[in-house]
Amino acid sequence: MTLDEKLAQLVGFWVDQGDEVVAPMAGEMATATTYADATVHGLGHLTRVYGTRPVDPVERAAWLWGEQRRLKTETRLGIPALVHEECLTGLAAWKAATFPTPLAWGAAFDPDLVEEMGRAIGESMQELGIHQGLAPVLDVVRDPRWGRVDECIGEDPYLVGTVGSAYVRGLQSTGVHATLKHFVGYSASQAGRNHAPVHAGPREIADVFLPPFEMAIRDGGARSVMNSYAEIDGEPVGATPRYLEGILREQWGFDGVVVSDYFSVAFLHSMHAVAADLGAAAELALRAGIDVELPTGDAFLAPLAEGVRSGRIDEALVDRAVIRVLTQKEQLGLLDETFADPPTSVDLDTPELRDIARRLAEESVVLLANDGTLPVTGPRRVAVIGPNAAASEPLMGCYSFVNHVLAHHPGTPLGIEIPTVLDALRLEFAGAEIVAAAGCDVEGTDRTGFAEAERIAREADIAIVVVGDRAGLFGRGTVGEGNDRESLDLPGQQRELVEMLVATGTPVVAVLLTGRPYAIDWAFSGDRRPAAVLQAFFPGEAGGEAIAAVLSGRVNPSGHLPVSLPRSAGAQPFSYLHPILGGDSEITSAASSPTLPFGHGLGYTTFERRDLSVDDQVRAGASFSAAVTVRNTGAVTGTELVQLYARDLFASVTRPVAQLIGYRRVELAPGEEVRVVFEVPTTRLAFSDASMRRIVEPGDVELWVGPSCSEKETTARLDIVGDVHEVTPADARLVIARVDRVSVSV
* 190: phi then psi, degrees, rounded to nearest 5: -55, 125
Cis peptide before 573 (omega within 30 of 0): yes
The pLDDT, as a whole number, for residue 22 is 57
pLDDT band for position 742 (cuts 50, 70, 90)? low
- Per residue in 223-260, pLDDT (tens digit) is 999 999 999 999 999 999 999 999 999 999 999 999 99
Instruction: Say if 341 falls within a structural domain.
Output: no
Q: Could you give the CA distance from residue 253 to residue 404 in angstroms, rounded to a whole number? A: 35
Per-residue exposure over 558-585, b if at least 16 CB sit within 10 Å of its own CB, e if not: bbbbbbbbbbbbebbbbbbbbeeebbee
Query: Residue 434: pLDDT above 50?
Result: yes
Instruction: State which of 530, 565, 582 marks the end of a domain.
Output: 582
Rg (CA), the chain: 26
Active site residues: 195, 261
Largest interatomic CA distance in the chain:
80
Domain identity same for 75 and 216:
yes
The pLDDT, as a whole number, for residue 326 is 98
Q: What is the CATH number of the domain that holds 677?
A: 2.60.40.10
The pLDDT, as a whole number, for residue 414 is 94
Domain identity same for 558 and 620:
no
Contacts of 350 (CB under 8 A, 6+ apart): 97
The pLDDT, as a whole number, for residue 746 is 58
pLDDT band for position 728 (cuts 50, 70, 90)? confident
The pLDDT, as a whole number, for residue 21 is 53
Q: What is the CATH number of the domain that holds 190?
A: 3.20.20.300
The pLDDT, as a whole number, for residue 740 is 42
Instruction: Say if 588 falls within a structural domain.
Output: no
Q: What is the CATH number of the domain that holds 446?
A: 3.40.50.1700
Instruction: Say if 591 falls within a structural domain.
Output: no
pLDDT band for position 737 (cuts 50, 70, 90)? very low
Contacts of 402 (CB under 8 A, 6+ apart): 98, 392, 393, 396, 414, 418
CB atoms within 10 A of CB 61: 21
The answer to whether the CB of 628 falls within 8 A of the CB of 666 is no
Domain identity same for 169 and 250:
yes
Instruction: Say if 467 falls within a structural domain.
Output: yes
Helix (H, G, I), strand (E, B) or coil at 591: coil
Q: Could you give the CA distance from residue 47 to residue 15 in angstroms, rounded to a whole number? A: 7
* H or E element in which residue 384 lies: strand 381-385
Higher pLDDT residue, 229 or 20?
Answer: 229
Domain identity same for 479 and 414:
yes
**191: Cα within 13 Å, side-chain hemisphere:** 7
- Per residue in 620-663, pLDDT (tens digit) is 999 999 999 999 999 999 999 999 999 999 999 999 999 999 99
The pLDDT, as a whole number, for residue 268 is 98
- Per residue in 266-298, pLDDT (tens digit) is 999 999 999 999 999 999 999 999 999 999 999
The pLDDT, as a whole number, for residue 709 is 98
Instruction: Say if 359 falls within a structural domain.
Output: no
The pLDDT, as a whole number, for residue 741 is 47
Q: Could you give the CA distance from residue 705 to residue 660 in angstroms, rounded to a whole number? A: 10
Burial class (CB in 10 A: 0-12, 13-18, 19+), 344: exposed
> For a pLDDT cut of 90, what percent of the chain falls above it?
93
Q: Which of 147, 152, 123 is nearest to 135 (CA)?
A: 152
Q: Could you give the CA distance from residue 537 to residue 361 in angstroms, rounded to a whole number? A: 9
- Per residue in 583-625, pLDDT (tens digit) is 998 888 888 899 999 999 999 999 999 999 999 999 999 999 9
* 522: phi then psi, degrees, rounded to nearest 5: -60, -20
Q: Which of 300, 288, 297 is nearest to 238 (CA)?
A: 288
Question: Which stretch of 26-35, 177-186, 220-229, 600-609 has the lowest confidence by average pLDDT?
Answer: 26-35
Instruction: State which of 292, 319, 336 marks the end of a domain.
Output: 336
pLDDT band for position 10 (cuts 50, 70, 90)? very high
Q: Could you give the CA distance from residue 557 to residue 243 in angstroms, rounded to a whole number? A: 41
Average pLDDT, the chain: 95
Per-residue exposure over 146-175, b if at least 16 CB sit within 10 Å of its own CB, e if not: bbbbbbbbbbbbbbbbbbbbbbbbbbbebe
Domain identity same for 547 and 628:
no
Q: Which contacts of 17-21 are long-range, i.e. CB under 8 A and separated by 24 or more positions?
A: 17/47, 17/52, 17/295, 17/296, 18/52, 18/53, 20/52, 20/53, 20/405, 20/408, 21/408, 21/473, 21/474, 21/476
Domain identity same for 560 and 625:
no
Domain identity same for 145 and 250:
yes
The answer to whether the CB of 479 falls within 8 A of the CB of 469 is yes
Cα 540 to the center of its chain, rounded Å: 13
Instruction: Say if 545 falls within a structural domain.
Output: yes
Once rounded to an integer, what is the mean pLDDT over residues 138-158? Answer: 97
Q: Which of 103, 113, 155, 111 is nearest to 660 (CA)?
A: 155
Domain identity same for 550 and 698:
no
Domain identity same for 680 and 536:
no
- Per residue in 451-510, pLDDT (tens digit) is 999 999 999 999 999 999 999 999 899 999 999 999 999 999 999 999 999 999 999 999
Domain identity same for 414 and 550:
yes
- Per residue in 304-355, pLDDT (tens digit) is 999 999 999 999 999 999 999 999 999 999 999 999 999 999 999 999 999 9
- Per residue in 549-570, pLDDT (tens digit) is 999 999 999 999 999 999 999 9
Q: How far is CA 386 from CA 40, 463, 492, in A?
A: 54, 10, 12
The pLDDT, as a whole number, for residue 33 is 72
Helix (H, G, I), strand (E, B) or coil at 347: coil
The pLDDT, as a whole number, for residue 564 is 98
Q: Could you give the CA distance from residue 739 to residue 478 in angstroms, rounded to a whole number? A: 35
Give one DSSP letter per residue of 119-159, joined into a string: HHHHHHHHHTT--EE---B-PPP--TTSGGGGGS--S-HHH
The pLDDT, as a whole number, for residue 730 is 67
Domain identity same for 660 and 731:
yes
> Between the CA atoms of 405, 411, 414 and 417, what dihedral angle is there, to the nearest 10 degrees?
160
3-state secondary structure 446-500: CCCCHHHHHHHHHCCCEEEEEEECCECCCCCCCECCCCCCCCCCCCCCHHHHHHH
How many domains does the structure of the chain reveal? 3
Q: What single-letter DSSP state applies at residue 247?
A: I
Helix (H, G, I), strand (E, B) or coil at 671: coil
Query: Residue 736: pLDDT above 50?
Result: no
Distinct helix (H) and strand (E) counts, the chain: 20, 27
Contacts of 34 (CB under 8 A, 6+ apart): none
Give one DSSP letter per residue of 626-655, joined into a string: EEEEEEE-SSS-EEEEEEEEEEESS-SS--
The pLDDT, as a whole number, for residue 743 is 61
Instruction: Say if 50 falls within a structural domain.
Output: yes
Instruction: Say if 595 falls within a structural domain.
Output: no
Domain identity same for 490 and 624:
no
**Which domain does 662 fall in, by range?**
607-745
Q: Could you give the angle at which helices 111-127 and 351-364 cross, rounded to 10 degrees?
A: 150
Amino acid at 681: P
Give one DSSP letter per residue of 54-94, joined into a string: ---HHHHHHHHHHHHHHHHHHSSS-PPPEEEE--BTB--ST
Instruction: State which of 549, 582, 615 marks the end of a domain.
Output: 582
Query: Residue 397: pLDDT above 70?
Result: yes
Q: Could you give the CA distance from residue 524 to residue 602 in angstroms, rounded to a whole number? A: 14
pLDDT band for position 738 (cuts 50, 70, 90)? very low
Look at the alpha carbons of 519, 446, 511, 460 in this order and tell me if their dihedral is positive or negative. Answer: positive
